[in-house]
């Protein structure tokens, strides 16, 4: 039986950041084409230039994340639902409701949590940009 303590994935910043870190490849793939193109250019830069560019971009992540997340979430949602299902045991009736509930929960929580989440996911984002 599902209990409120199992749903702490939605309520704790660290748990949400861990979920987003797990989904980083999917999140990066869900970025708008112009962002993917820019990141591809950064990925091809030589090491020191790449490091300098990422250092300049890093302060922009807290500004960009809230702007990009609404467009990325619908694309990432199927993968997020699977990841949550792996982490939170739930009865079938709850699994059936998750596709309707999860987008609403994320739309409500993300604006409040993103300022705390972004610093926790930035290292994974930078690693993903560097590794391609």
Give the pLDDT confidence of 6-49 residue by residue, as tens digits. Answer: 555 567 889 889 999 999 999 999 999 999 999 999 999 999 99
The model carries a pTM of 0.84
Give the per-residue pLDDT at 21: 95
Total count of domains within the chain: 1
Give the pLDDT confidence of 80-98 residue by residue, as tens digits. Answer: 999 988 888 888 888 898 8
Give the per-residue pLDDT at 6: 56
For residue 16, the enclosing domain spans 4-131
Question: What is the torsion angle, in degrees rounded to the nearest 10, for the CA atoms of residue 33, residue 36, residue 38 and residue 44?
Answer: -140
1, pLDDT greater than 50: no
Could you tell me the two tokens for 64? 């960009």
């Amino acid at each position: 039986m599902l209990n409120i303590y199992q749903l702490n994935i939605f309520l704790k910043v660290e748990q949400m950041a861990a979920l987003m870190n797990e989904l980083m490849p999917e999140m990066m793939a869900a970025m708008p084409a112009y962002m993917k193109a820019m990141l591809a250019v950064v990925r091809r830069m030589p090491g020191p230039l790449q490091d300098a560019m990422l250092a300049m971009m890093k302060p922009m992540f807290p500004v960009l994340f809230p702007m990009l997340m609404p467009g990325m979430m619908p694309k990432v949602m199927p993968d997020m639902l699977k990841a949550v299902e792996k982490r939170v045991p739930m009865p079938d009736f709850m699994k059936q409701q998750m596709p309707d509930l999860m987008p609403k929960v994320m739309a409500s929580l993300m604006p409040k949590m993103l300022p705390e989440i972004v610093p926790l996911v930035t290292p994974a984002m930078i690693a993903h940009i560097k590794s391609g």
